Amino acid sequence: MVPVAVIVSAVLCNLCSAEQGAGDNPLAKLSLGTRGTSTTFMKRLEIMSRDSFSHGLPALPPQLAVHNLAKYDAIWACQFVPLYHRAAWQLLRRQHPNVLTLYYMSSDTTRVQTKGFFDYEYVNTHHPEWFVLKDVKNPQHADPRDPDNRIRWTEKDPKGLNYNRFYLDVCNTDFQKWAVQHILACVSGERRGMTIPYHGLGADNVNIGRRRLQNISNRYPNWAYAGRFDDWNAGFCRYLKTVKEALNKRGFILVANHTLDYGSDTDAGCWDSLLNCVDGVMTEQSLLYGGRPIYAGAAWLSSIQKHERILSKGLIDWWVCYPPETQPEGHQVFLYYYCSWLLVKQPGRSFFYATRDIRGWSNPRTPWYSEYDLPIGEPRSARYRKNACWVREYTNALVVVNPTRKTQKLRFDNWIESSSQRSASLLQMPPTSGRILMPDVADTGGR
């Protein structure tokens, strides 16, 4: 086994070399929060006096709103703050410059209601050729001005918000040029006359990889990129690189929420391309893919190694997960994700988000878990094996993960399990579970 100290040294050296070689890359110059707690779509009650985003309703006092937001090290869709509470935005950026603030936008779709999307009316009126056609073999479906000829985000509910939401051809170079200017105007704040910009763009819906594109082909066998997945993947990455270069030139960064599979070697080349054209990645598939079971065994290890690879390049690695609403199952799933994340966490580059109860972004309950407040300290080692489990040492804690489908028994003298407060001297780790162990003050005489 490679000594832990050697592993830590290698990881830190990779991180440093990536940053030193970044030149004028704004990410290398950013000083970000180290705890890693984050949010995607903030809760309305965090800045408003009622559970609604409305200019007609009173906002919270600026200092209270900032208090609510400052517990996060990163906010994915931060445009809601200046949109509905400009005073809180200015105070947040002034008092907490280490909180990463991103302007959220869908990278490859637009819809009639355009908050967080490219300007639908502009595309529909001036460049309908930028819409992706769902059947290029049928001449009767060749007119992109007809919405029924385009690929919709969903066909299920004609009255739904995403029914009139359409895919855009991100490989089109004319679209890329226009998109860059649109993005810069949003991220810089110029579009809304803001004097304080965001740190960068949170690009959602980076739909790449064979599995994701095959899902589209299953719905539309004759769509524009059927049988040409490599063309779409390569074009998408060229688009991201174009956006990144333009953002970096202005001092901003690009973080992309993508659809690649962490648990297999599928799309290895696509991984290389993606990581070379972003400043960081977000994923909602950190320990699973689609509706498949949560990763264990080799798939779990593959996922963990990909996260480590991202961090070794000096990039941001941002996990998003959705534990079940039912308890205690939901808390157990949360712990498996959170502890797995702690195994690879790099302070200042790693971020973590998990919902509470209802998954919908409008759920008013703040997604905060008591484990975030544990004084675990900073990482002191890399992850290492203990029987079939993995362990990582923190200043004031041990993080333990069982990534197998069987219960594992371990022994940790002078430690207690943080949730149950039980001794870990005979610790039973259920299948696919995580635990945070804290020092047993009673056993160590209060030391």
- DSSP bridge partners of 253: 200
Q: Range of 52's domain?
A: 4-383
By the 8 A CB rule, do 401 and 343 touch? yes
The answer to whether residues 321 and 286 touch, using CB atoms and an 8 Å cutoff, is yes
Asked if residue 438 is part of any domain, the answer here is: no
User: What token pair was written down for 273?
Assistant: 């391309």
- Per-residue pLDDT tens listing for the chain (447 residues): 334 333 333 333 333 333 334 457 899 999 999 999 999 999 999 999 998 888 888 999 999 999 999 999 999 999 999 999 999 999 999 999 999 999 999 999 999 877 789 999 999 999 999 999 999 999 999 999 999 999 999 998 998 889 999 999 999 999 999 999 999 999 999 999 999 999 999 999 999 999 999 999 999 999 999 999 999 999 999 999 999 999 999 999 999 999 999 999 989 889 999 999 999 999 999 999 987 899 999 999 999 999 999 999 999 999 999 999 899 999 999 999 999 999 999 999 999 999 987 777 667 788 899 999 999 999 999 999 999 999 999 999 999 999 999 999 999 999 999 989 999 999 999 999 999 999 998 755 544
Angle between the 297-312 and 4-20 helix axes, to the nearest 10 degrees? 40
CA dihedral 380, 340, 207, 113 (to 10 degrees): -100
Max Cα–Cα distance, the chain, nearest Å: 81
- Which structure tokens are listed for 48? 């408003």
Residues forming beta bridges with residue 445, ordered by sequence position? none
Residue 176 confidence (pLDDT): 98
Give CA torsion, residues 173, 282, 215, 171, to 10 deg.
Answer: 0
Residue 96 lies in a domain: yes
Total domains present in the chain: 1
The beta-strand segments (E) located in 189-339 are: 200-206, 253-258, 280-283, 316-321
pLDDT averaged over every residue in the chain: 91
Helix (H) / strand (E) element for 60: namely none
Contact of 86 with 183, CB cutoff 8 Å: no
Distance (Å, whole) CA 68 – CA 45: 9
Which tokens is 399 given? Answer: 């993080």
Q: Is residue 437 part of a domain?
A: no
Residue with tokens 């690649």: 260
Burial 400-423 (b: 16+ CB within 10 A, else e): bbbbbeeebebebeebbbbeeeeb
Which class for 150: exposed (0-12), middle (13-18), buried (19 or more C-beta within 10 A)? Answer: buried
Q: Within its chain, how far is the Cα of 54 from the centroid?
A: 27
Q: What is the CATH number of the domain that holds 146?
A: 3.20.20.70
How many Å apart are CA 203 and CA 278, to the nearest integer?
A: 10
332 vs 98: CA distance, rounded Å: 31
Position 363 scores a pLDDT of 75
Reported as a single tens digit per residue, the pLDDT across 174-220 is 999 999 999 999 999 999 999 999 999 999 999 999 999 999 999 99
Residue 38, strand partner residues: 74
How many angstroms separate the Cα of 328 from the Cα of each of 114, 220, 335, 363, 429? 38, 40, 11, 20, 15
Q: Is residue 389 part of a domain?
A: no
**Is residue 433 situated within a structural domain?**
no
Count Cα atoms within 13 angstroms, Cβ side, for 429: 30
Residue 196 lies inside a defined structural domain of this protein: yes
Structure tokens at 313: 């390049």
Nearest to 255 by CA among 275, 284, 238: 275
Q: Which residue has the tokens 């919709």?
A: 152
**Of 255, 228, 223, the residue nearest 353 (C-alpha):** 255
Give the DSSP H/E element, type plus range, for residue 298.
Answer: helix 297-312
- Are 229 and 213 in contact by the 8 Å Cβ rule? The answer is yes
166 is a domain residue: yes
Decide if 115 is inside a domain.
Answer: yes
